A and B are shown apart, each in its own frame.
Chain A
Amino acid sequence: MISGRKLLVAALLATVSFAASSAIAQNAKPLKIGLLLSLSGPAASFGIPERDAAELIVAGLNSQGGVDGRKVELAIYDDTTNPTEAARGATKLIREDGVVAIVGASTGSGTLAAAPIAAREKIPMLAPNATISVTARESQSYPYVFRTMSNDLVNTKQLYEAAIAGGAKKVAIFYQEDAYGKDSATYVKKLAEERGAPIVDMASAPLKSIEVAAQAVKLRGSSPDAVIMQVTAPALGGAFVRAAKQVGLDVPIWGSMGLGQKSFIESSGAAGNGVRLVVFGNWDDPSPRQAKLADVMKAGGKSPQGFAELISTNGLLAIVEAARKIKGDITGPALRDELEKLCKVTTYSDGELCYSKDDHDGWSTDALTTVEIRDGAFKRVQ
């Protein structure tokens, strides 16, 4: 299905390397991109792979001659999973390092804190977050914020529909106590009411919980025939799956995309067998495009872990793609205008990137895949 008919990155690179051989190209000003990511603190598990993948892609681009002869330079700022630092980081990257676009922040709240600054400075932010309000239309930062993945509404709806496709009537929800967990659980609840099959019970736990048997017992009490797990932390997801097994909650469990990581399988142990997820990328059984990113990362001595690698490279490649369209000086406003015109662009993720004036979300359901854990690996479900 995914053939070479569209400009695949490999083809892109070949074109670029051709362009690079021309002499003019060597003298062009570098294309400076900021990475505003959480490299420490709780979101480091996203920020670190986001950075690793971005660095390797840039190294690859530069070894092929850069973007239209411009070297790509990254300026990296660690926001320590702290919105105040994210805001400071945006100022520093823009004013001191002179970046023309930013990929980040790793968390929705980091992006919300940094976006007003980026918008004031007219620098586009490519936000690797599914948080709905990041691209809220009424926000003053809206013109300069572009999402690099499918949003939580899309992801959650897809997850709910996959869960009830097998005929489940009584669905229960387990969610983590944060913006993602709470909002998506509320959304599923609303969807279920619209379908006339209300959610039978809900339980939740703080992100750092180490034991959730009580929550599993609570859900067991309403005898659901499927459980949806709105969790992004692998340790918490694993803890719930094990607890469900332990207390005898033997029904199909559906998990959200944040759990599409090796560490979730490891922390679930034997109890994880049969758990299904709707994911944004699957490294055990990758699509051809994702396999290319995996190759790039392996060549650089890293192995991809989850969807973090995909969403940061999505942002980076969107910037590169927009930059190619600009004839003169590459500036923030020029990049923004070109980003808004990008459509039918493919990156390493499944599906296509399509931004427009009214849609800064970019990716949709075609980027999502359903997988099942079998024998310690994610297998694609047809």
Chain B
Amino acid sequence: MNSLLMRYRSVLVLIVVLTVVTMLIRANTVWLDTSVVIAIYSLIALSVGISYGQAGILSVAQAAFASVGAYATAIVTARYDLPAAVGLVLALLLPPLIAYPLARLVTRLNALSLAIATLVFGQAFDIILREGGDFTGGYIGLSGIPPLPFASGLLQFHFVAWGAVLIVAVLLSNLIDSPFGRATNTLRSDTLRAVADGVNVPHVRSAILAFSASVAGLGGWLYAHHIAYIGPDSLGPSVSLSVLLMAVVGGAQTVLGPIIGAALLTLLFKFIPSQEVQGMFYGGALIAVLVLTPNGLMGLRTVIGRWMKSSATKRERATANVATGVSAARRAS
């Protein structure tokens, strides 16, 4: 019982926060809209958390997978008048079908080359969407995507979207706590050890990327039915970078981190002065968060914990830092 509580503590925290927030904003359209957008970004950021935080695959193409989901549902619902449920099946299945072979190609690469390969994939995908003619709506995109029949109001959509986030949070909590998840985590920190443990490294990493692509596709499905329009700019390469930032700012290795990051960066836009100087505030805030909490906001727990320890441990820490510095440098190469 206790271990179940431990496993799902993040999900429970999320449920409590959501209940409170929903009570506060249930009558306010603007906040409900913001909340839905946060839920959608949370899903795509969680997909980064899964691929990067769990398996160490830094994919800069997660928005492309979301885009596959969004376009799939847009095409079948707006063009062929099929139910949104068909769109959902496609949005969950198509992205992993693209991600798995892609992953088999690129997971042999070192971290940096892998990131670049996915970035290039994202850009190439962007061009293909734009050149897709009538099928993808070309540069203009597709409009007139119908709302979900069971969630036509914003409040219902808010529940659907956060329901999807909760399901993914449960799955991710299970993954982290499963033998499979532990295997991927070993692989993240020490590939050699994982090989020695008999893990089929390329397959495991590719399967994780495929799972994360499916989660991103779910986000894309919600996006299409919420905004009612999908174009190449909607979930383009710049969104891939944004969700990466969200995951890292919040803490990519935790369940709640990507969600916190998504909420924070989305809300940041609401409160910083808009217009030309916006970039200075956004960029500045980003650097400040990263410098202050290099492991993401969820990492703050350990930072504060360490800070409260007496200075007697200081010397010990200094040696530890050199050691982790070396291992970090290794991981970068």
Cβ-defined contact, B139 with A83, below 8 A = no
Cβ-defined contact, A177 with B231, below 8 A = no
Per-residue interface assignment for chain B, residues 227 to 261, with 1 indicating a CB less than 8 Å from any chain A CB and 0 otherwise: 11101111000110000000000000000000000
Which listed residue, A80, A88, A113, A178, touches B37 by the CB 8 Å rule?
A88
Q: Which of under 10, 10 to 19, 20 to 34, or 35 or more describes the interface residues of A?
A: 35 or more
Cβ-defined contact, A92 with B139, below 8 A = no
Which listed residue, A40, A112, A179, touches B143 by the CB 8 Å rule?
A112
Q: Is the CB of B279 closer than 8 A to any CB of chain A?
A: yes
Q: How many residues of chain B have a CB within 8 Å of chain A?
A: 29
Minimum Cβ distance to chain A for residue B100 (Å): 28
Residues of A within 8 A of B115 (CB): none
**A78→B279 CA distance, assembly (Å):** 12
Q: Is the CB of B10 closer than 8 A to any CB of chain A?
A: no
Residues of B within 8 A of A329 (CB): none
Per-residue interface assignment for chain B, residues 302 to 333, with 1 indicating a CB less than 8 Å from any chain A CB and 0 otherwise: 00000000000000000000000000000000
Residue of B nearest to A37 (CB): B275
**A88→B238 CA distance, assembly (Å):** 17
Cβ-defined contact, B37 with A84, below 8 A = yes
**A133→B134 CA distance, assembly (Å):** 13
**A78→B144 CA distance, assembly (Å):** 24
**A84→B230 CA distance, assembly (Å):** 9
- Do A83 and B29 form a contact, CB below 8 Å, given A39-B275, A88-B37? no
Which listed residue, A76, A107, A109, touches B274 by the CB 8 Å rule?
A76
Query: Which interface residue of A78, A84, A117, A139 has the most chain B CB atoms within 10 A?
Result: A84
Residue of B nearest to A76 (CB): B274
Minimum Cβ distance to chain B for residue A272 (Å): 27
Per-residue interface assignment for chain A, residues 280 to 293, with 1 indicating a CB less than 8 Å from any chain B CB and 0 otherwise: 00000000000000
Residues of B within 8 A of A141 (CB): 143
Residues of B within 8 A of A77 (CB): 274
Cβ-defined contact, A108 with B30, below 8 A = no
Residues of B within 8 A of A107 (CB): 233
Residues of A within 8 A of B275 (CB): 39-40, 48, 51, 76, 78
Cβ-defined contact, A133 with B140, below 8 A = yes
**A44→B276 CA distance, assembly (Å):** 8
Interface of B toward A, CB cutoff 8 Å: 28-30, 33-34, 37, 130, 138-141, 143-144, 223, 227-229, 231-234, 238-239, 269, 274-276, 278-279
Interface of A toward B, CB cutoff 8 Å: 39-40, 44, 48, 51, 76-78, 80-85, 87-88, 91-92, 95-96, 107-109, 112-113, 115-117, 131, 133, 139-141, 177-179, 182-183
Known: A88-B37, A113-B143, A117-B228. 20 other contacts (CB 8 A): A39-B276, A51-B275, A76-B274, A82-B233, A82-B238, A83-B234, A84-B239, A88-B34, A92-B33, A95-B29, A95-B30, A95-B33, A108-B140, A113-B229, A116-B143, A133-B143, A140-B144, A141-B143, A178-B139, A179-B139
Task: Supply 24 A–B pairs (Cβ within 8 Å), ascending by A.
Answer: A39-B274, A39-B275, A40-B274, A77-B274, A82-B233, A83-B141, A84-B227, A84-B239, A88-B37, A91-B30, A92-B33, A95-B30, A95-B33, A107-B233, A108-B140, A112-B231, A113-B228, A116-B228, A133-B143, A139-B144, A141-B143, A179-B139, A182-B130, A182-B139
